[in-house]
Chains A and B, each alone.
Chain A
Amino acid sequence: MPTLADAIERLVAGNREYAQRAAEADPNAFVELSKGQAPEVLWIGCADSRVPETTVCHCKPGDLFVHRNIANCVHADDLNAASVVEYAVAHLKVKKVVVCGHTKCGGANAALGDADLGQTLNTWLHPVRELRRKHKAELDRLPDDDARAVRVAELNVQQSIDVLKQHPAVKKAATDRGLTVHGMIYDLGAGHLRLLEESGRKKGNGLWSPT
């Protein structure tokens, strides 16, 4: 059985290899990164280990400013996410905000019922569970829990977007310079991102209405 120390040595070795490869591919890579960041996109995603945003979007360091938490929630009273949004939108002036949920999400799945996950997680997931209660009739019609969890993930992305659109920095940037907010679902079983068209259309930011 590998020891606890091996697991850490692996990360350090992985980092050495990353640094070497990046420098070989572009001798200026780290010089450029040292100068500063100007990401175009703020990515709000799930903490789930299977959805590493830079890898699944085939992006490079410097492309995506990132906040990840349990079930990619943006709660109106959460200062952690609100601070990330403020910094990314008002200071770094990102052009887009993406909220990305995913299939097989443990948080969305847990929100299908009311099992006790401990007080901290119960409180965090409460708004997602409320969504499930609110949309019970629609969810009951779906064939199985996998499908219901995906629908809850979609509803949760839309709810997060509704909260984001009330964030003062987002409101201002949307009016002043055309910032847009987009919902996505990442399909773990296929590796594909799917754009939630209605989240963009409903509030009329208009760029990507369904074809």
Chain B
Amino acid sequence: MSGNTEEPKDLRKYLQQSHDRIFDNNRKWAEEQKAKHPEFFTKLSAGQSPEYLWIGCSDSRMPAEAITGLEPGEMFIHRNIANLVCNTDLNVMSVVNYAVRHLKVKHIVVCGHYGCGGVKAAMTPQDLGLLNPWLRNIRDVYRLHEAELDKITEEDKRYDRLVELNVVEQARNIIKTAAVQQSYAKNQFPIVHGWVFGFHDGLLKDLEIDFEGQLKSIQKIYNLTMV
């Protein structure tokens, strides 16, 4: 878009076009799906039984279903700034509850990404107003791992490591929920995983969280299996 020379009429036309594009794309997609699988939408209407819950970042560059090659119906998805799981947040806790207790998902994936704007903002000494309380959770992750992070002299590497440690801590926060602890005690699922996505190559990296080890370690203090 050009700057000052722009006529309001052109701007309106442009806004209309960027809006219409979504509807054009959607119609095209629906037709393609129906041509490939005539029963596709009828089956989806009948209900969902996803195996996965994905907790990812809102970042536009990591649409969960696209980067994992999954079809509609396969993955229940929550996305927020910097893929945080805060225990006082009713929004994410409702998602975890519904996915674990009602949909009975088998896996929960917390997926962060290198170059995360939320994590970057939390490393910046600046008042960001409304975002302060949310980003504060990432600063707390830094404090938990201060010794390790402070040893990393290269700033980019320290940033990458904070992205990884943030995923690990959010995975631990999910393991601390009553829903996950009770379901695992009864069903041996869900398993909680921590991954990081890289834009430079489009690949997922498994942080290889030892789920059972983490569960045991948090249960010393956070055990909620007794109903």
Query: How far in angstroms is the closest Cβ of chain A from B64?
Result: 7
Q: Which chain B residues border A78 with CB–CB below 8 Å? A: 89-91
Q: Is the CB of B95 within 8 A of A70?
A: yes
Q: List 14 A-B contacts (CB under 8 A).
A: A7-B106, A7-B107, A14-B70, A30-B202, A33-B199, A33-B202, A52-B66, A53-B63, A55-B65, A69-B78, A69-B94, A78-B90, A87-B117, A123-B94
Partner-A contacts on B (CB < 8 A): 11-12, 15-16, 18-19, 22-23, 25-30, 33-34, 40-42, 44-45, 47-48, 50-52, 58-70, 72-81, 84, 86, 89-95, 97-99, 101-102, 106-107, 109, 115, 117-118, 129-131, 133-134, 189, 191, 193, 199-204, 206
Q: Which chain B residues border A7 with CB–CB below 8 Å? A: 51-52, 106-107
Q: Which chain B residues border A98 with CB–CB below 8 Å? A: 22
Q: Which chain B residues border A57 with CB–CB below 8 Å? A: 22, 25-26, 29
Q: Given A15-B67, A53-B63, A55-B65, 18 more contacts at CB 8 Å? A: A11-B52, A14-B68, A15-B68, A18-B202, A29-B202, A41-B22, A56-B72, A59-B22, A65-B60, A66-B58, A67-B79, A69-B78, A78-B90, A80-B91, A83-B81, A84-B58, A87-B131, A188-B44
Q: Does A134 contact B (CB under 8 A)?
A: no
**Bound: A16/B61 CA distance, A:** 16
Query: How far in angstroms is the closest Cβ of chain A from B21?
Result: 9
Known: A15-B68, A52-B63. A191 touches B206 (CB 8 A): no
Q: Is the CB of B28 within 8 A of A37?
A: no
7 smallest beta-carbon distances between A and B, as pairs? A14-B69, A191-B30, A58-B25, A54-B63, A19-B202, A39-B60, A49-B50
Q: Which chain A residues border B98 with CB–CB below 8 Å? A: 47, 70, 106, 117, 121
Q: Is the CB of A69 within 8 A of B106?
A: no
Partner-B contacts on A (CB < 8 A): 4, 7-8, 11-19, 22-23, 29-31, 33-34, 36-37, 39-41, 47-59, 61-70, 73, 75, 78-84, 86-88, 91, 95-96, 98, 103-104, 106, 117-118, 120-121, 123-125, 168-169, 178, 180, 182, 188-193, 195, 207-208
Q: State which of A19, A30, A180, A189 has its C-beta within 8 Å of the C-beta of B44.
A: A189
**Bound: A123/B199 CA distance, A:** 37
Q: Is the CB of B130 within 8 A of A118?
A: no
Q: Is the CB of A18 within 8 A of B50?
A: no
